[in-house]
Amino acid sequence: MAARPRVFDIDCRLAYTLDTPADFVFQLHAHEGPDQALESESVRLTPGVRSHVYTDPYTGQRFLRAQAPAGPLSVRYRARVAVRRPARERNAAEARVSELPDDLLHLLLPTRYCESDLLGSATTKLFGDLPPGVERVEAICDWIHRNVDYRLGSSTPTTTACDTFLNRAGVCRDFAHLAVTFCRALCIPARLAVGYAVFDKPPPDFHAMFEAWVGGRWELFDATRMSDPRGLVRIAVGRDAKDVAFATIYGAARSRAVVPEITRVA
């Protein structure tokens, strides 16, 4: 079960120009947990920027809050992370609603970009007759892969799972939203998972996958099939994309660079 860890170097650089002061909430820090160990880490902001890190007591993920004055802002996060994620369990079962841990119930609910309340009927028609379990989640991934085109520029930050179900095109975040929505409509707790991922092809970018609760634990899936879930350096999990944005900005800022590099070193 416990494979040799995959070790990655992260070097993430963001740069902005601000005409007026602005507030930022970054989510760039690699998550620490049983499946991810941090070997080293540093974060550097433009001197003079006030900042602090907030760790969510529930999830353990970290938020870097910054108050930046007008002018240039740059952020650099570097880390070495060892990922040791067990292989997906082949026969993982879905839990009945009555068996779900109390603190997972909320992950059955619809959210801003995952309108499982609107797609209930369609989900039942598509996947309701499949045997429950991890294979049904894999069937969801397969359906999305076959029926939704990966196309840069085909969606916007406000695109929802319903939009993607209609348009049949999107990027990683849209694929993950649709998968999360189908899962929740089937009473499988599901959430977005974002992080640093190795792609076959450049350019580097943040990546969104999703997690479904099967077999009594969170299993990670990539509906885009663009990256191996065992190699995701997870930053955060959340109800949907709004919870796990790498940067939420309060104020006006022009983005100059977003370069989340990741290199496998072992």
Q: Which residues of this protein are in contact with a second copy, per CB under 8 A?
A: 23, 25, 50, 54, 58, 63, 65, 67, 96-98, 102, 105-106, 108-112, 115, 117-119, 121-122, 125, 147, 149, 157-158, 162, 165-169, 187, 242-243, 248, 250
| Least gap, CB of 208 to a second copy (angstroms) | 16
Looking only at the bridges linking them, the beta strands covering 22-26 and 6-18 are unpaired
- Residue pair 134/92 in contact by the 8 Å Cβ criterion: yes
User: Residue 1 or residue 166: which is nearer to a second copy going by CB?
Assistant: 166
User: Residue 25 or residue 258: which is nearer to a second copy going by CB?
Assistant: 25
| Least gap, CB of 226 to a second copy (angstroms) | 20
Instruction: In whole angstroms, give the CA distance from residue 79 to residue 73.
Output: 20
| Least gap, CB of 229 to a second copy (angstroms) | 26
| Least gap, CB of 100 to a second copy (angstroms) | 9
Instruction: Give the closest residue to 8 by CA, choosing from 204, 243, 172.
Output: 204
DSSP assignments along 82-123, one per residue = EE--PPPPTTPPBPPGGGS-GGGGGGGS-BTTB-TTTSHHHH
| Least gap, CB of 261 to a second copy (angstroms) | 27
- Residue pair 76/41 in contact by the 8 Å Cβ criterion: no
User: Residue 83 or residue 214: which is nearer to a second copy going by CB?
Assistant: 214
| Least gap, CB of 263 to a second copy (angstroms) | 32
DSSP assignments along 193-236, one per residue = EEEE---SSSPP-EEEEEEEEETTEEEEE-TT-SS-GGG-EEEE
- Taking CB atoms within 8 Å and a gap of at least 24, the contacts of 57-62 are 59/236, 59/237, 60/31, 60/32, 60/33, 61/27, 61/29, 61/31, 61/235, 61/236, 61/237, 62/27, 62/29, 62/31
